[in-house]
């Protein structure tokens, strides 16, 4: 149940995207507490997700079943981490929330080589690490946008 995010993974279409959308309110509210709280929660969730997703994959007899979506929450949390550094949780955060979601989904779906390599790891490591790296890629770009956008003319 936890690996499928209480059944969200069984959505007939785009279960990973639905799980990522489901994570947004929790990420947004948690980011208000600042990076000092946000980072340990994200790391703790990733550490718990590895064995949970690995066990679910074993039970389902599939190395990376699409119904396992807890890894999407981990990746989405990492993608949102720049918001927690800025504690940006007002109306100004909306463009960044959207950008973090879109960037994470792009990295997760397209899987550039460094993400695809992580996906080949066995068990929960491969299931979770590729999404964590997709989230990291999104976070790096989001942090860059946060620096550049305020300096744009107009």
Q: Whose structure tokens read 């997760």?
A: 108
CA 62/CA 23 separation, integer angstroms: 24
Q: To the nearest whole number, what is the mean pLDDT of the chain?
A: 91
The stretch 22-40 carries a mean pLDDT of 90
More confident residue, 112 or 148: 112
| Residue 4 scores a pLDDT above 90 | yes
Tally the C-alpha atoms within 13 A of residue 72's C-alpha that lie toward its C-beta. Answer: 30
34 pLDDT band (50/70/90 cuts)? confident
- Which alpha helices (H) appear in 61-122, and where do they start and end? 70-86, 94-110, 113-119
The stretch 59-65 carries a mean pLDDT of 95
148 pLDDT band (50/70/90 cuts)? confident
Global pTM reads: 0.92
User: 71-124: per-residue pLDDT in tens?
Assistant: 999 999 999 998 888 765 566 678 888 999 999 999 999 999 999 999 899 999
Sorted by where each begins, the domain ranges of the chain are: 19-146
2 pLDDT band (50/70/90 cuts)? very high
């Amino acid at each position: 149940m936890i690996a499928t995010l209480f059944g969200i993974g069984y959505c007939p279409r785009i279960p990973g995207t639905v799980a990522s959308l489901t994570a947004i309110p929790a990420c947004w509210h948690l980011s208000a507490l600042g990076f000092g709280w946000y980072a340990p929660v994200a790391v703790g969730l990733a550490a718990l997700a590895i064995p949970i997703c690995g066990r679910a994959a074993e039970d389902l007899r599939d190395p990376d079943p699409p119904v396992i979506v807890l890894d999407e929450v981990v990746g989405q949390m990492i993608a949102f981490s720049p918001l927690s550094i800025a504690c940006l949780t007002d109306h100004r955060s909306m463009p960044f929330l959207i950008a973090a979601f879109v960037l994470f989904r792009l990295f997760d779906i397209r899987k550039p080589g460094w993400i695809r390599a992580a996906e080949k790891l066995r068990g929960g490591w491969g299931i979770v690490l590729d999404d964590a790296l997709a989230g990291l890629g999104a976070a790096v770009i989001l942090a860059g946008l946060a620096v550049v956008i305020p300096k744009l003319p107009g």
